[in-house]
Amino acid sequence: MKGKFISLEGGEGSGKTTAIHFIQQWLESNNIPYLMTREPGGTPLAEEIRQLVLSERNETVNDVTELLLVFAARAQHLAEKIQPALEEGTWVISDRFLDSTYVYQGKARGGNVEFLDQLADWVVGSNNPDATLLLDVPVELGLERVVQRQHQDRLDKESIEFHQKVREGFLERASADPQRIKIINASLSLDAVKVQIEKQLIALNHAWSGDV
């Protein structure tokens, strides 16, 4: 039986990386083989591309360049890591995936959605996540949570309006595809977030239990 593919989405400081740890605990207590990964990145080459995308530079980064780099990393990640793991029955949990591209490079940067659809079709095809947990938090709260962080990358430093578009973009995608994208209220305490995530995992696992 193929593994399941779950992505974590949300803005800066929404709690994606924290949620990954909750998911890891749940998978371990259910004896489910898993692989944790992230985007952009996930393989040595894709991680190098991540550095190219996120590092500060004295040059304007063209929107199309940014978009193609993200998809280049994703092609490598899918072929070398995600697909082989799923084939052998391992669940794959990714900190960000395709929804982030639609939201950051599409909605927030105003990228051409038709072009994005074509790239998604070409690079991702039918390898979309089986489920996505969207950690939703007001922009100010998310940014407050990461403000202590020493290192801020190129996207962390975008304006509040940019991050607001990111939040709206994720919520729009969730309402367009409620079957796949489950919204987690990430403004609540860590314990309350953990409870919501576990509830979703139990429901998904139950729904998938008939799959072959």
Cα separation values, 28 from 53, 155, 162, 167, 184, Å: 33, 33, 37, 31, 21
> What is the contact surface with Mg ion in residues (CB under 5 A)?
16-17
User: What residues have CB less than 8 Å from 55, skipping those under 6 apart?
Assistant: 153, 154
Query: Least distance in Å: CB of 145 to ligand ATP?
Result: 3
- Closest separation in Å from C-beta 16 to Mg ion: 5
Binding-site positions for ATP: 10-17
Partner in contact with 184, chosen from ligand ATP, Mg ion, none, beta carbon below 5 to 8 Å by kind = none
Cα 151 from chain centroid (whole Å): 20
Binding partner selected for residue 146 from ligand ATP, Mg ion, none, CB under the kind-specific 5 to 8 Å limit: ligand ATP
Q: Give the Cα separation of 182 and 198 in Å (integer).
A: 12
Query: Which is closer to ligand ATP, CB of 79 or CB of 146?
Result: 146
Name the residues that contact ligand ATP, by CB under 6 A: 10, 12-18, 145-146, 186, 188-190, 193
**Inter-residue contact 12 to 143 (CB < 8 Å):** yes
The residue type of 199 is: K
Residue ranges for the known binding site are 10-17
Which residue is it, tokens 């578009």?
165
- Shortest reach from residue 166's CB to ligand ATP, in Å: 10
Q: Look at residue 41 and give the partner it binds from ligand ATP, Mg ion, none, a contact being a CB closer than 5 to 8 Å depending on partner kind.
A: none
